[in-house]
A and B are shown apart, each in its own frame.
Chain A
Amino acid sequence: MTSQTSSTSETTTTPSDSDEGPPVIDFAFVHSRLLPDGSPDVQYRSACGGQKLRDIMLDAHIDLYGPYDGPLLNCAGGGTCGTCLVEVVEGKELLSPRTPKEKEKLKKKPKTWRLACQTVVGKQDSRGELVIQQLPEWKTHEWE
């Protein structure tokens, strides 16, 4: 798939690959709106594993909530409002499985959608790549 890294997205701890430096997970966050010429609007970030996806996205200043970003418009991580939806395009092996709260809220949604406040990304020493689609309800393009 890619010629840059030797690790694939399935691995969580890879002592065999020659990456230097502390283990981080690389993220590609894709916005719901494409750029005016039709190419995707991607932001790249790196973060340590073991955190909730919501925390990673908010620390990295990625738009998670969209129109629900105000003070009382979301439950701020409680798992009750269902507004922190994201779609996992690649790298779902790194994520913790769906919690019962998620299963309740995402019953009618596609299988790739997750609640960012309930999803834990890997462990402290994980490496990998994750492609996340922000605001999947408003996206104007489709993933293969």
Chain B
Amino acid sequence: MASFLSPHLSKPKPLLPLPLIRATSSSFSTNAAAVTAQSPPVPSLQSLEEAFGRQGIKFTETNGISSVELSVRNGSSVNLRLSDALITSYKPKVFWKDDGCRELLRTIQTSEDPSSVKGGIGLVLNDLSKLAKNNSPWSPSEWVLKEADSDSFDAVQVELGCTNGNGTLEVTYVISLYPLSLATAVIVKNTGSKPIELTSAILSHINFDSRDRTAIEGLLGCSYCAHPPPASSFGILSPAEAMRPDDSGWFGSSDAPKTGVWTVEDEKFTMLKGKFSRLYAAPPSERSKEVYRTVPSNYTTIDKGSKLSFRIIRMGYDDIYLGTPGSFAKQYSDKDYFICTGPASMLVPVVLNPEEEWRAAQVIEHDNL
């Protein structure tokens, strides 16, 4: 659909955040030849530190899970768990005085096991063309740190890789931290001989000070439908919980979500007080047209309590998922509120032919300083 723009813009579409410190590594060429059914051995903290440790990249281990802490000169930092590629903390510098860094993400401890964490920013990727024994699609679960790089001041980048057991799919997850933004990108390469169908999403659980004065700006005019979030190991609300109507008090269940009904957002600010689980997308029936109305490329979260706003930019993905817990948030915290949002390609799976690559990313940036 972008064909009528191409003669004018000579730049190709790299679709990875700039400035790229180093292009994706060529270590895949050796990996593809040596893929076995075994999972790779878990490297020790020491070996990780020796191989990848750098200014701004620090490895730590808690409860048997290694994680890496990325930080840049202005104080912003990110904490990433290596085994399941979950970003458990993102503290950008948003105020000038004192320390000035404030945690943006919400994570919760689900069970007695201290290593089970839900929330944060995570990648959901499902290979629909191949179903595992229990009829669920394959999704990446064992991540290996491939590359780490930093320019010592203002940019840090970490690359995690995962392959599926029989060498037909290679997934790379690149997390880049800059002073005012955090970019998470996914690159999927089909190294097999059959086409693959994927659905994917990058979901972030964003923290707000209070339930009342929160909104999202930028979705005006976009059509949406009620849709559950993709099932994931890190989602705070499961798909079933997200779709359940909220029946407490004033924000009652008078508008219980009906799947398949498309509405157009007619408010400039989408209030997040109520409970809903929406997918903002172009209806699949529209997509058969040559030119259809595209979903906004970015939207901003507004928190009147802390007076901060964050812009979430969608690249490569087709839809935007937005889910709010409503009164369910009280189970997890008395004062704070959170939402689950992010770019997704869920309605229409992405078809990836052999030797093709698909790239998509989410960038969270802010101008609060």
Contact = CB atoms under 8 A, between A and B. Distances in A.
A37 B294 CA distance: 19
B189 to A, nearest CB: 18
A67 interface: no
B130 interface: no
Interface string A21-51: 0000011101100011111111111100000
A2 B9 contact: no
Interface residues of B, number: 35
Interface string B15-29: 111100000000000
Interface string B90-133: 00000000000000000000000000000000000000000000
Nearest to A62: B221
A35 B297 contact: yes
Contacts of A143: 8-9
A141 B1 CA distance: 21
Q: Interface size class for chain A?
A: 20 to 34
B181 A36 contact: yes
Contacts of A9: 4
B8 A4 contact: no
Contacts of B16: 37
B290 A26 contact: yes
A3 interface: yes
Contact of A60 (B9, B221, B297): B221
The 9 A-B residue pairs whose C-beta atoms are closest, nearest first, are: A61-B221, A2-B3, A26-B291, A36-B17, A39-B13, A36-B363, A44-B294, A2-B4, A129-B4
Interface of B: 1-11, 13-18, 181, 183, 220-221, 289-294, 296-298, 313, 315, 361, 363, 365
Given A26-B290, A36-B181, 12 more contacts: A1-B3, A4-B4, A4-B290, A5-B290, A31-B297, A35-B297, A36-B315, A37-B17, A43-B297, A46-B292, A61-B220, A89-B8
23 contacts: A1-B6, A2-B3, A2-B6, A4-B4, A9-B4, A36-B181, A36-B183, A36-B315, A36-B361, A37-B13, A37-B18, A40-B9, A41-B298, A42-B5, A43-B296, A43-B297, A46-B292, A61-B221, A90-B4, A90-B8, A141-B9, A143-B8, A144-B8
Interface of A: 1-5, 9, 26-28, 30-31, 35-46, 60-61, 89-90, 129, 131, 141, 143-144
